[in-house]
Structure 1
Amino acid sequence: MKYNLICLILGAFLSLVSCGANEQSKDAFEADVIVYGGTSAAVTAAVQVVKQGKTVLVVSPDKHLGGLSSGGLGFTDTGNKSVIGGLAREFYHRVYMHYDKPESWEWQKKDEYGNKGQGTPAMDGAERTMWIFEPKVAEKVFEDFVKENKLKIYRDEWLDREKGVEKKNGRIISIKTLSGKTFKGKMFIDATYEGDLMASAGVKYHVGREANSVYNEEWNGIQAGVFQHKHYFEKNISPYKIEGDPKSGLLPYVTDEKIGKNGEGDDKIQAYCFRMCLSSNPDNRIPFAKPEGYDRSKYELLARVYKAGWTETFQKYDPIPNRKTDTNNHGPFSTDFIGQNYDYPEASYERRKEIIKEHELYQKGLMYYWSNDEAVPADVRAEMNKWGLPKDEFKDNGGWPHQLYIREARRMIGQEVVTENETLGKKAVNQSVGMGSYSLDSHNAQRYVKEDGFVQNEGDIGVHPKKPYGIAYGAIIPKKEDCENLLVPVCVSSSHIAFGSIRMEPVFMILGQSAASAAILAIDNKQSVQEVDYKALEAQLLKDKQKLVVE
């Protein structure tokens, strides 16, 4: 009897232990490399890990993969396309192959498409690449990468930023998400636009614009009165509720903060917007509806711009296939929600969701205003009413993009910092792991009142490098004292103005692939990422047809 009782107790105990072990294994996962993020860089990094024979898990806060590449930015910002190689070029080749099929042209004939791209034809037959595409096509290419490489993606998994990073002896051991899942790895890659894993791991970073004096630059910091694009008030416009009357108070989205001196640093960041995909096909168009909480007075400043004679409403309705556009900010008052994102980089998830919603309602309100308000010229209203959200894009979100354009958030202060001096060829780059070539492109960071009482935007910069430049390996890794097994291919170590050039989707894909190759070398040689032999890394990158120098 006593023996049976002991057996019963022991059996119950073992059963509990077994249940506990199963529960733990259900929420505990392990791979050689853990990629955090759902961006284009996250996908290319994961694909590269598999191609080099290691295991990888992608922990993605996003349900949809590809970030901005599949989130509305279909009119690709490329710069010099000859420096785009590896998996990035493979992505654009697959886009080309898609549109080479007659059945892909559902809403227009292929020969009706204007083939307009940035610097080269959108559809480059000689190179068999296509740089302009619909969001759904980009997302399909990323999902094909996932299927072909049997990638394991954990979607809608958000890093516990408070206590979700376990570190030991300068290395990340595991990360934990808010759902309770734990991911253990030898190497980690932060491929998010925000740099949340990097920050939670204790890696130093910067938010905002550095003073020019910090890195001996010219185009960083405050740049009042510098107008290198068309995103400024060309004529005198009053910012006050009653024109010319400061006592009446300021109109919405104009700051009363006094502007600093040019070249000084601040904590402001360039504006965000949604890169809307719009359709002009009546059979594939959702009319612009009045959004919740719509208030026409929020767009009074735009009414005054029209009253002053502005006529450039549709200049950034860049055509993509099937009678659609990638619609971007253009002009003094447009889709950029200037000054409304300063707290986003370090904000809580809850606050970020609020900011994203605020941007959505602002932009939806703007589209409704453009389509309906009598303060908008009649010809603009008539043209705007030919457009709408596409029924066949972002179907689970009513045709609205699932990704806000996070043009800039945190930027790592890593082993090396890329500045405008490297991007403009004033300083040599060693140990290149990829190339950039786009202009130093910053959107406006603030809308303020000048001393003469009129409104103006500030922060819009567009300085073109004379030739492509390399991005140093040291820019995608932290300092060794911060972390030894983390790579950061998106929130790279760079100054604000240098990031303005680096922050292009093809570059993120390139750096994602390079980060993965470096991670694998570190695993194979039991090294920190700071100890990786560059010559060995260079050989792997060249083998994978990455472009590292100007040929």
Structure 2
Amino acid sequence: MRHHFASIVFLALFGSHACIAADVPCHDVDVCVYGGTASGVMAALAAGKEGANVILVEPSRWLGGMTGGGINHLDWGKGNTVGGSTYKILMEGVKEQPRAHGGHAVQGIGNRAYRERFKKAVEDRGITVIYNHRVGKVQVGDRTIDSPTRKDPIAMNESITKSKKANVIQSITLDYAPVDETGCPIPEPEKRNAITISAKVFIDCSYEGDVLGMSGASYTWGRESREHYDESLAGVRPSLWVHDIDPYVEPGDPESGLVPFVQDKTIGPLGSADSLSMGYCFRHEFDMSGKGIPIPEPTNYDPAEFEVYRRAIRDGVDIFSNRHMRTTLNKFTVHKKAPFVGGAQSNRNLMGSTVYGCNEDYPNGDWVARSQIWKFHQEFLINSIHFAKTDPSAPKSMKQRAIKTSFKKGVFDETGGWPNQFYVRQARRLVSSYVVTQKDLEGRTDPPHAVGLAAYGVDDWPYAVVVEDGKVAVQGGAFSIVYID
């Protein structure tokens, strides 16, 4: 249960190789930052401030990642842990609000405004930004690597590469792959080997960690076991919710198969490792006045896909509330919600904006697989709203909300109302000589060479929707842990 901030998948590998490819446009710089997430922009600004020649590469057309791509309500544990350029971008002109359970919350200036602030910040610093390109291959010493160097997460007793010499990145080659009209990455690039960048330092600040994955450095994903780092809360956790819903196509008959959205996954014993990651979603901004950007009508709607929700509604099973909010250690409350579709941006419930378990192939996958997962989530929203509007089982309150739901104008207009960033909560993680573990979060370590501060509650999200004792279970996503600073 090693924890990382999703926007800071950090890798700095040193090289001194100049551009030599004559047939590919080439840049030779001091620092190449891959990924224009909030952390990527901050890394580029910091390097530029020190006088470095910097290039920032962003696969989409926008900077900021989730900050501006869906999350504009910001919160952190202690306000004084945020300063410098970060504070200026996030907080300038914004009122800080104390939270009842400690820390601070910021309503924010809006997704669009954050994207504009990030863009202006790099322009003011004179940093070159390459948009619409993603890494296709990495030159590591005399090796050219064009695919992930691992097939499975790191096992408990596996030795890791520690030689810096073996992992010196000389250059990266970018493919031209502009996102589609909804902001979704395209499966295949329009042009391979479009640009080569050589640098003394490469920093991977993307959510996916693709430079990391092709660098030869050690990395992993998924859930480590309890024993891996001696963490009592690691690995498989108890199911968050077990709903009294029959999961089988023919009720009571396991041989008939599972209804859609219930996954045929074998979950190991408590504390064991697996390759699952917390669920991903989009953080939409909706308009309930009926004057927003219309949500598209479905082109691939199958009523049978929503059978698990239909059964829940029919049998009076609450699959809409179910978000645990920590008030004090080991005490939780349940936020009761009326049936709705289109909300539940981050709710740990069965029916919301996340279909837990469908992202297993994302962290170490290629862009064909990732694009399919993005599109699946877009299609799920479209189809779930259509289900709420038209299905005889849907209660009146759900129908009324679905009819009113549209995308808010002025936020993601370039992409038809769709957020330009997929909420990749966790993906690849660098395994270096120091690994942040449960002990760090409990204040039981004194890490050397600290370069930053973190202060916020540690949470977890469900990993899959599976069968448990003949019922539908939302697997994982609950533990309590205190952050002590």
Report how far residue 386 of structure 1 moved: 3.1
CA contact 1:287–1:385 (8 Å) conserved in 2? no
Give the Cα–Cα distance (whole angstroms) in 2 for the partners of residues 133 and 296 of structure 1.
Answer: 39
1:35-434 superposed matches below 5 A: 35-94=33-92, 96=94, 122=105, 130-161=106-137, 164-167=138-141, 169-170=165-166, 171-178=168-175, 179-225=193-239, 227=240, 232-233=241-242, 235-283=243-291, 285-307=292-314, 308-310=316-318, 312=320, 327-434=345-452
Q: What is residue 459 of structure 1 aligned with on the other side? A: 476
Q: What is residue 102 of structure 1 aligned with on the other side? A: none
CA contact 1:277–1:326 (8 Å) conserved in 2? no
In structure 2, runs of 5+ residues without a counterpart are 1-18, 143-164, 176-192, 325-334, 336-341
SS in structure 2 of the partner of residue 148 of structure 1: helix
SS in structure 1 of the partner of residue 136 of structure 2: coil
Q: Deviations over 1:443-467 (max 9, x none)?
A: 11122111x3111111212434243
Report how far residue 383 of structure 1 moved: 2.9
CA contact 1:59–1:155 (8 Å) conserved in 2? yes
Give the Cα–Cα distance (whole angstroms) in 2 for the partners of residues 150 and 241 of structure 1.
Answer: 59
Q: Among 425, 436, 442, which residue is 2:460 paired with?
A: 442
Between the two proteins, what is the percent identity of the paired residues? 28
In structure 1, runs of 5+ residues without a counterpart are 1-20, 100-113, 123-129, 318-323, 469-551
Q: Deviations over 1:341-396 (max 9, x none)?
A: 11111212222212211222123222332344332221122234333112222222
CA contact 1:76–1:118 (8 Å) conserved in 2? no
Q: 1:312 to 1:358 in 2, by over 3 A?
A: closer
**TM-score normalised over the length of structure 2:** 0.77
Q: 1:424 to 1:371 in 2, by over 3 A?
A: farther
**TM-score normalised over the length of structure 1:** 0.68
Q: Deviations over 1:376-435 (max 9, x none)?
A: 221122234333112222222110111111111111101200001111223332322222
Report how far residue 289 of structure 1 moved: 3.3
Q: What is residue 110 of structure 1 aligned with on the other side? A: none
Report how far residue 224 of structure 1 moved: 2.3
SS in structure 2 of the partner of residue 422 of structure 1: helix
Q: Deviations over 1:70-100 (max 9, x none)?
A: 1112222423333222322222123628x9x
What is the number of residues matched between the two proteins?
410
Give the Cα–Cα distance (whole angstroms) in 2 for the partners of residues 311 and 173 of structure 1.
Answer: 51
Give the Cα–Cα distance (whole angstroms) in 1 for the partners of residues 141 and 75 of structure 2.
Answer: 37
| Code of the aligned partner of 2:372 | E
Give the Cα–Cα distance (whole angstroms) in 1 for the partners of residues 390 and 99 of structure 2.
Answer: 30
CA contact 2:458–2:483 (8 Å) conserved in 1? no
Give the Cα–Cα distance (whole angstroms) in 1 for the partners of residues 383 and 357 of structure 2.
Answer: 17
Q: Deviations over 1:520-549 (max 9, x none)?
A: xxxxxxxxxxxxxxxxxxxxxxxxxxxxxx
SS in structure 2 of the partner of residue 212 of structure 1: coil
Please say which structure displays the higher CA radius of gyration. Answer: 1
Q: 1:371 to 1:219 in 2, by over 3 A?
A: farther
| Code of the aligned partner of 2:426 | E
Q: Deviations over 1:214-270 (max 9, x none)?
A: 111122111124x3xxxx34x411111233333432111212333210000011111
| Code of the aligned partner of 1:296 | P
Give the Cα–Cα distance (whole angstroms) in 1 for the partners of residues 474 and 295 of structure 2.
Answer: 27
CA contact 2:24–2:194 (8 Å) conserved in 1? no
Give the Cα–Cα distance (whole angstroms) in 1 for the partners of residues 301 and 441 of structure 2.
Answer: 43
Cα RMSD (Å): 3.0
SS in structure 2 of the partner of residue 159 of structure 1: strand
Give the Cα–Cα distance (whole angstroms) in 2 for the partners of residues 360 and 280 of structure 1.
Answer: 19
Q: 1:37 to 1:386 in 2, by over 3 A?
A: same
